[in-house]
Structure formats: structure tokens, C-alpha cells
Structure 1
């Protein structure tokens, strides 16, 4: 586990949207739906037993009924898959890294399919997350804009904007971080 640096603690304290109060521009959820504006900050880790499948051009890369969703204010959930349910032989770790103030340093994965050139990063994981996110240690989350992701047999819509990797499913309403004009969220 990694200790949370003071500058990260300060950054965390600056968030104004924390899931405690839905802003007026949020889409009201219907029965059976969730508003991303009701998700907490810091994010919540929520077990999800629906079948989650990840494919690339017809090749199954992952399948599980043991995913966990990370639910954070303003973003569609990200589905993290246990490494035992991922065909790791189809992936290669890249040199790419990023930092999340809640989870810590992320490592990225590319597809390593025989006879195909390397792809852009299709997944990320946290080998040494901050203590409160140890539950997702080594779990992989895939970008639904780069691979086909399904939840309970239904195709996932990628989070807008190209940077974030949220999974939009029918029960989730926004608006979502990543849409034009949302960089301040």
C-alpha cells in the first residue's frame, strides 16, 4: 500500500461536487436508474455480480461475474475485473502511467494478439493503490471506446471525451464528465 501524500490530501479537499447534493443540471433518475451525481467523492467500490464480458474483434479478453464498480461523482462507473478472469496472455504492460488522486498510480495494458500490431492502451490497473482502494489491487478496467464491453449481455456506451474510461449502462444517467464544457467538474 502507498501512503497518501499531503498534496494529494489537499487536492481531494478542493472538490465541490461530492455526491451529497445533486446539482440542478443533473438528469433526474427514473425508477431503477442511478444518477452519477449521487455517487460519492471519494468514490465508492461496489461489488457487481452481473456478467461482464470484454472482447476485441470477436476475441474474448475477459469474462466475470465478480466485477466491482468504482462509482465517483460525475462519472459513469468503471468496472474492474479480477485478474484471474482476464486472459492476461492477450495483454502486455505498457510504459504508460497516470495518477489518480483517489486510487494512486495506474499502469496501462495493450493488446498483444498474434499477427496484429500493438494497439493503444485498452486497460489499466493499480498494483499499489492507496489504502482505501486496495480492493481493486491488480484488477483491470477496460476502455469501452477501444474494446467491446458488455454488462449482462448489453453493449456499454463509452464515457464521452476520450480521456476517461467510464462504462455507461442503461441504468446510469448524467450528464457525464467528459462531455463538452465539463472540464471543471
Structure 2
């Protein structure tokens, strides 16, 4: 297993970077693994914990389109999904970019999950914490230094 290296969220780039993730990622909902992959991507942006995007073929959850969408100045418009697994449904708990901007074309259709709405999310065997706040979908791991935005008072950095 490839270990996570020390990183500082303040040194992540703007505009954001897209990187493949060699580590195993898995997500649990309702006591079941609903997604598992070693072929994810992550987006790194200044003051954000990484956001992980999983290939749809590695997601066994029931994804139901949910109302609304969001707009990222870098990636484009995302659609929201309710996520079902293990007899549980998490509302508006995932999103995907069907037609992302050119720099993010590799994640077209890939699914990102809000860690705060899942039972548990793991990267390289480590359980992640959700990025603070209720807007950002980053996953905080113990190798991260710096302060990810999202907590009260940091939303508009």
C-alpha cells in the first residue's frame, strides 16, 4: 500500500490540480462497502482538503439524481445525487461533473462523496474526516498540514 506523504493545504495550487490516486479508497454506508477503487483522482486546491473522484464502475451504491446542481469556476457544473446502500439513503451526498472543463476532463462522470454524509470513508487504510463546513467536499487525512477552509470564518479565503 502506498503511504500518504505530508502535504500542506496552503501550498496546493490555484487554479487547482488534478492527480491520480494510487492508494485504495473505499466508502461505507449502511454497513456495506458502496465504493472501492485504486483508480481515483483527487483535486488539490489552495486551502482545501483534497476532493476524491471515483470511477463510476467502482461504485456499487444506488445513485439517484437529486435536485439542484452546483457550479465550480474551475470544473464547471456538477449534478447532485442521493446515495443508497445497506438500506440507508443519504440525501445529496454525492456529485459528478458530466462535462467538466478541459483540464478536468479525466473526471467526467466520476463520483465524489461528502464524507460527512457517509458512514465512513478511507484513503490508504486511514479513516478520513470531512472538510469543515457544509459546502466543501474535501477529505481530511492525518498527513495534511495547514488549515482547510470551510469552518466558520474561513469560508471566503
Question: TM-score, length-normalised on structure 1?
Answer: 0.78
Q: Which residue number corresponds to residue 146 of structure 2? A: 174
Deviation at 1:113, TM superposition (A): 4.4
2:44 to 71, 81, 84: 71
Root mean square deviation of aligned Cα: 1.4
Structure 1 or 2, whichever has the larger Rg, is: 1
Number of residue-to-residue matches in the alignment: 152
1:123 to 80, 94, 100: 94
Offset from partner CA, 1:13-54 (integer Å, 9 cap, x none)? xxxxxxxxxxxxxxxxxxx41111111011001111100001
The CA distance in 2 between the partners of 1:64 and 1:114, in whole Å, is 19
The CA distance in 2 between the partners of 1:136 and 1:158, in whole Å, is 21
Does residue 47 of structure 1 match 2:20?
yes
Q: Which residue number corresponds to residue 141 of structure 1? A: 112
1:99 to 71, 85, 98: 71
Deviation at 1:114, TM superposition (A): 7.5
Offset from partner CA, 1:73-123 (integer Å, 9 cap, x none)? 0000001101111115x221112201000000001111234855x432111
The CA distance in 2 between the partners of 1:160 and 1:180, in whole Å, is 8
Structure 1 runs, 4 residues or longer, greater than 6 Å off: none
2:69–2:79: 8 Å Cα contact kept in structure 1? yes
SS at match of 1:84: helix
The CA distance in 2 between the partners of 1:106 and 1:112, in whole Å, is 19
- Flag the structure with higher strand content: 2
Unaligned runs of 5+ in 2: none
